[in-house]
């Protein structure tokens, strides 16, 4: 897990230095630069596999130079195939990736089971090839200015290269009106794009081309007509799940896992403890000392069955102002509120404990239809557990509302449930959560792995009949039945509990002054014309007076204010 950066078409090496400096938290173990005429490639290394200096990057051979962020979990299997023709110099997945590209070209991407964002410079052809993994676990941001391509793992690195920081009015407007975090190619900043998940790009002679390499819609079709029994599906999925976690245990540093009180975490707990090398693996969870929200009782019940050492991390209200400012700096864009801040403390604790790799249970809801809005045909909301609109369009001025474009998502399937799941996988839930989580883990120089997002699991589960997912109102039916073999019924069949903190209460009480100050920051900014300030203040007063069924609109304003810094 690392940070990458590059400049193609400019000889000023000083800019790449600044880019790497601002994202050094992504890889504190080594920082290096490769340059040749009008190209510079840079790398911040967090050493996870093959800790030797031989695996440092940029990684170069006679004809190619690679900068790589992520992990190729099945690198040993690929390496065994490539060893027939190539003598490896390191034990790293980095070298496997580069040799795989040399052998198979862009088709190597289909061989990889992993999370990755990388760029390869072909010295002979003077062409840059860059790619991103299937679900976009690892980031790739870029811009072209005056014929020069800049790319990096974080947006702030592009700002450090001299790219102007200017808000993208359309993305911000859609965020305020619809809660959208942008389409797969968009960011909250003008002229800064991201390479979409499942895509690769080439850049040669100032010409940029982007192509899709992974077609999820086509891959799942191979399962639609299998007509497997419930028991057969259960057995196949269980074996895939075991293998996914086994692959993600490959590391040369200590591994831990995150846990909450829900079904997904219980599945992770159960299968992590089946690994041969999982003895005494540490579990991490957060709490806020609020019995209305904390999942600690369920977590402790789950852990009592396996006796994993449990690291409990407390978030208190007085920490939120400073932590939200720090998190905004590292996120570069809006993020998910106080629960995100609480989650960030887990990575800080893990790093202090010497645990550099954490496993997390993200991805089950999208493949097994676990969100409440999957149960209704007319609910287009993607915010769990909220009935009233969480947005306040009325505080926006016509100047900003003119930029609003209602997000439209591809619907490749005839079934409405599948289209909702597809939307959440590639447009809404997963993309934003992966972005939040990547920045949180990297803030503290730790690596996060999501075994439930193994593409084999997602494809197989996604394609199963609806009655395997939702049965008599019970969601994620298949997963519950799988986990029941290992854990108690009170855990396995507990209702879904959205990850919660006392955000609503804290914002209106403990953090009232902090919110008021941030609203004043908006009022005094050059972007105050985006808002009807009097209406915004009135909505804030309504919130303080008890109109707080949802606090998302308050957090939106906080996010905007924090991003003005």
Question: Which positions are annotated as active-site residues?
Answer: 2
Other C-beta atoms lying within 10 Å of the C-beta of residue 442: 27
Rounded CA separation 98/59 (Å): 8
Q: What share of the chain is helix, strand, coil (3-state, %, to 5)?
A: 45, 20, 40
Rounded CA separation 435/438 (Å): 5
The alpha-carbon radius of gyration of the chain (Å, integer) is 23
Q: Which residues contact 220 (CB under 8 A, 6 or more apart)?
A: 459, 462, 463
Taking a C-beta distance cutoff of 8 angstroms, is the pair 527, 400 a contact?
A: no
End-to-end CA distance of the chain: 28
DSSP letter for each residue of 237-306: HHHHHHHHHHHTT--SS-EEEE--SSHHHHHHHHHHTTSTT-TT--EEEEE-S-TTT--HHHHHHHHHTT
What string of H, E and C letters represents the secondary structure of 340-364?
A: HHHHHHHHHHHHHCCCCEEECCCCH
Q: Helix 230-247 crosses helix 455-462 at what angle (to 10 degrees)?
A: 160
Taking a C-beta distance cutoff of 8 angstroms, is the pair 412, 422 a contact?
A: yes
Rounded CA separation 58/44 (Å): 9
Taking a C-beta distance cutoff of 8 angstroms, is the pair 275, 245 a contact?
A: yes
Rounded CA separation 89/53 (Å): 12
């Amino acid at each position: 897990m690392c940070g990458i950066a590059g400049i193609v078409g400019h000889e000023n090496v000083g800019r790449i230095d600044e880019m790497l400096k601002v994202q050094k938290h992504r890889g504190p173990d080594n920082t290096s630069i490769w340059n040749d005429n009008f190209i510079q490639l840079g790398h911040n290394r967090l050493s996870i596999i093959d800790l030797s200096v031989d695996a440092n990057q940029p990684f170069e051979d006679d004809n190619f130079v690679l900068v790589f962020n992520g992990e190729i979990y099945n690198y040993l299997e690929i390496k065994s195939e490539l060893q027939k023709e190539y003598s490896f110099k390191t034990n790293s997945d980095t070298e496997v990736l580069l040799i795989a590209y040399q052998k198979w070209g862009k088709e190597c991407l289909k061989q990889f089971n992993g999370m990755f964002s990388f760029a390869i410079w072909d010295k002979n052809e003077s062409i840059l090839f860059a790619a991103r993994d299937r679900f976009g676990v690892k980031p790739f941001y870029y811009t072209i200015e005056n014929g020069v391509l800049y790319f990096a793992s974080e947006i702030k690195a592009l700002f450090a290269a001299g790219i102007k920081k200017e808000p993208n009015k359309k993305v911000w407007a859609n965020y305020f009106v619809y809660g959208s975090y942008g389409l797969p190619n968009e960011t909250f900043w003008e002229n800064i794009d991201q390479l979409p998940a499942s895509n690769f790009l080439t850049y040669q002679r100032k010409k940029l081309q982007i192509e899709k390499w992974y077609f999820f819609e086509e891959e799942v079709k191979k399962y639609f007509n299998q007509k497997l029994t419930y028991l057969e599906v259960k057995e196949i999925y269980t074996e895939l799940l075991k293998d996914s976690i086994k692959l993600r245990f490959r590391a040369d540093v200590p591994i831990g896992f995150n846990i909450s009180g829900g079904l997904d975490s219980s599945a992770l707990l159960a299968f992590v403890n089946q690994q041969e090398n999982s003895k005494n693996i540490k579990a991490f969870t957060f709490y806020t000392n609020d019995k209305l929200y904390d999942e600690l009782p369920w977590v402790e019940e789950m852990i009592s069955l396996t006796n994993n050492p449990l690291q409990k991390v407390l978030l208190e209200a007085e920490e939120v102002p400073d932590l939200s400012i720090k998190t905004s700096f590292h996120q570069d864009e809006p993020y998910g509120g106080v629960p995100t801040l609480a989650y960030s403390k887990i990575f800080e604790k893990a790093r202090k404990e010497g645990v550099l790799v954490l496993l997390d249970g993200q991805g089950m809801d999208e493949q097994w239809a676990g969100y409440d809005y999957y149960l209704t045909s007319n609910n287009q909301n993607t915010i769990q557990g909220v009935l009233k609109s969480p947005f306040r369009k009325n505080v926006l001025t016509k100047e900003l509302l003119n930029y609003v474009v209602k997000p439209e998502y591809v619907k490749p399937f005839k079934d409405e449930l599948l289209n909702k799941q597809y939307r959440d996988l590639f447009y809404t839930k997963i993309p934003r959560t992966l972005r939040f989580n990547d920045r949180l883990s990297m803030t503290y120089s730790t690596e996060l792995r999501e075994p439930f997002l193994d593409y084999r699991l997602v494809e197989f589960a996604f394609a199963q009949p609806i009655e395997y997912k939702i049965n008599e109102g019970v969601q994620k039916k298949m997963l519950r039945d799988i986990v029941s073999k290992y854990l108690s019924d009170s855990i396995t069949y507990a209702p879904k509990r959205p990850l919660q903190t006392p955000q609503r209460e804290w914002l209106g009480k403990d953090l009232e002054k902090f919110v008021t100050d941030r609203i004043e920051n908006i009022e005094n900014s050059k972007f105050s014309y985006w808002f009807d300030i009097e209406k915004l203040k009135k909505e804030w007063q309504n919130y303080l007076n008890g109109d707080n069924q949802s606090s998302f609109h308050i957090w939106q304003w906080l996010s905007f204010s924090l991003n003005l810094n």
